Amino acid sequence: MISGIVYIVGAGPGDPGLITVKGVECLRRADVIIYDRLVSPHLLDYAPFQAERIYVGKASSDHILSQKETNRLLVERARQGKTVVRLKGGDPFVFGRGGEEALALVEACIPFEVVPGVTSAIAAPAYAGIPVTHRGVARSFAVFSGHRTEGETRGGGDAETAAVSSQPSAVSRPLSAISRQPSADTLGSERGPWTVERETQIFLMGMENLGSIVASLLEEGYSSETPVALVRWGTTPQQETVVGTLGDIVERGRGVHPPAVLVVGQVVSLRERLKWFEDRPLFGKRILVTRSREQASKLSCLLAEQGAEPIDFPVIQILPMEDDTPLDEALAHPHDWVIFTSANGVKAVWDRLQAAGRDARAFAGVRLCAIGPATAAELASHGLHADFVPAEYVAEAIVAGIGDVAGQRIMLPRADIAQEFLA
């Protein structure tokens, strides 16, 4: 029997631009995509239209499929000969149970590959302006799970069961992962290069246990003045950062819900100067883009680059003309001016010219006006130079700019919903 293959792919932390090139290639040839909650929905657009998309959840309160069922699904689809992409938030081997899924595939003799991803543990702080290491401040970082399951001595990276497992016993037990920190009496003392710069501590899945994590760190000798940051929905337009100290972060972070990364250490102080992402001019703004679907994406990308969250909401649609005759007849006559008020108008006219077996020579001796640079560029793509482009891209400026047109023949190709002013 020919088996398919499973690609265990890291989707990155949220910003859809943070998936790897290899990850995108896998998505492009996927027959099936099995994805988690923290995966950007935009990434699914890379997959072929007909690919099967299966959501398996994975918030602590939202597991559509259990881990066992997910493993079984991977095996089953691969056995059908399919190319399966297992798309997981961040990096698949950082608290993502990617290792367990790979083991299930090994057991079932299914070929697989792992495509690492950008983990939220580093990327969320980076987008909040916090480098996890910094010369003279922190020379190492450690990533912990803020969840612990009963019977585990380290922070157990179990996104599914751990939220349910915050029984008092689990909460009151200090996190042993932290206990390898220097004790209070060695803090700040010169004990060689390894203790002068403190390690940055990063916790994923830490919100439910924030109180006990902080208490453990304080017990381990961390000063209550240690800078701390919570970065929620890092790398996305909804990113929210709450900064405080070990002494007050529990209070300040009260309204912060998962998913969030907790960063503990002096590196957090660098944020004040390095918070580039949240400082972009349109950060935090949701903007409806009402252009036609085909034309919206360019504007949306520009808005996103400035920090906005663009929402495509087309209120117009560009359709071919119902009746070509008026335009064909107009094109059959000579004109003094042709005034284009949109790139779409240029396209429509060019299509009809071509349909009549004609080309740019049809405009020999005709003066061309474009309402703005995009329209002029569309003309240029057909080898046509706009004789006049107003400084201000509005109909009024065209009238003022083309001068006295008394007695001239003017062609004005435009949409049927365009304003009457220019005519």
Q: Which is nearer to ligand SAH, 181 or 235 (CB)?
A: 235
* Stretch near ligand SAH under the rule CB under 6 A, chosen from 242-250, 255-263, 277-285, 320-328: 255-263
- Residue 89 within binding range of ligand SAH, rule CB under 6 A: yes
d(CA 254, CA 280): 26
d(CA 37, CA 244): 28
24 phi, psi to nearest 5 deg: -65, -40
Give the residue, chosen from 13, 23, 310, 345, that forms a contact with ligand SAH under the rule CB under 6 A. 13
As given in the structure block, the two tokens for residue 397 are 């400026």
Give the residue, chosen from 260, 348, 384, 389, that forms a contact with ligand SAH under the rule CB under 6 A. 260
Taking CA atoms, 277 is separated from 272, 273, 283, 307, in Å, by 12, 11, 8, 7
Q: Which of 15, 31, 58, 91 is catalytic?
A: 58
Q: Which is nearer to ligand SAH, 82 or 86 (CB)?
A: 86
Look up 298 and say whether it is catalytic: no
DSSP state of 138: B
Look up 312 and say whether it is catalytic: no
* Stretch near ligand SAH under the rule CB under 6 A, chosen from 89-97, 183-191, 242-250, 300-308: 89-97
d(CA 237, CA 310): 9
- Residue 259 within binding range of ligand SAH, rule CB under 6 A: yes
- Residue 205 within binding range of ligand SAH, rule CB under 6 A: yes
Window 114 to 173, contacts with ligand SAH (CB under 6 A): 119-121, 124, 159
- Residue 91 within binding range of ligand SAH, rule CB under 6 A: yes
221 to 240: interface string for ligand SAH, x by CB under 6 A: ----------xxxxxx----
Give one DSSP letter per residue of 219-252, joined into a string: HTT--TT-EEEEEESTTSTT-EEEEEETTTHHHH
- Residue 94 within binding range of ligand SAH, rule CB under 6 A: yes
- Which amino acid appears at position 388 of this protein? F
Give one DSSP letter per residue of 307-325, joined into a string: T-EEEE---------S--H
Taking the CA atoms of residue 62, residue 68, residue 72 and residue 73 in that order, the dihedral angle to the nearest 10 degrees is 10
Q: Which residues contact 257 (CB under 8 A, 6 or more apart)?
A: 207, 232
Look up 207 and say whether it is catalytic: no
Q: Which of 31, 88, 158, 205 is catalytic?
A: 205
* Stretch near ligand SAH under the rule CB under 6 A, chosen from 90-98, 244-252, 323-331, 396-404: 90-98
- Residue 95 within binding range of ligand SAH, rule CB under 6 A: yes
- Residue 96 within binding range of ligand SAH, rule CB under 6 A: yes
CB of 379 to ligand SAH, least distance (A): 44
Cβ distance 127 to 239 under 8 Å?
yes
Q: Which of 36, 88, 158, 207 is catalytic?
A: 36
Q: How far is CA 16 from the centre of its chain?
A: 3
Burial class (CB in 10 A: 0-12, 13-18, 19+), 209: buried
Give the residue, chosen from 155, 237, 258, 265, that forms a contact with ligand SAH under the rule CB under 6 A. 258
As given in the structure block, the two tokens for residue 148 are 């612990």
The count of chain residues that interact with ligand SAH, using the rule CB under 6 A, is 26
Binding interface with ligand SAH (CB under 6 A): 13-14, 38, 89-91, 94-96, 119-121, 124, 159, 204-205, 231-236, 258-261
Active site residues: 36, 58, 205
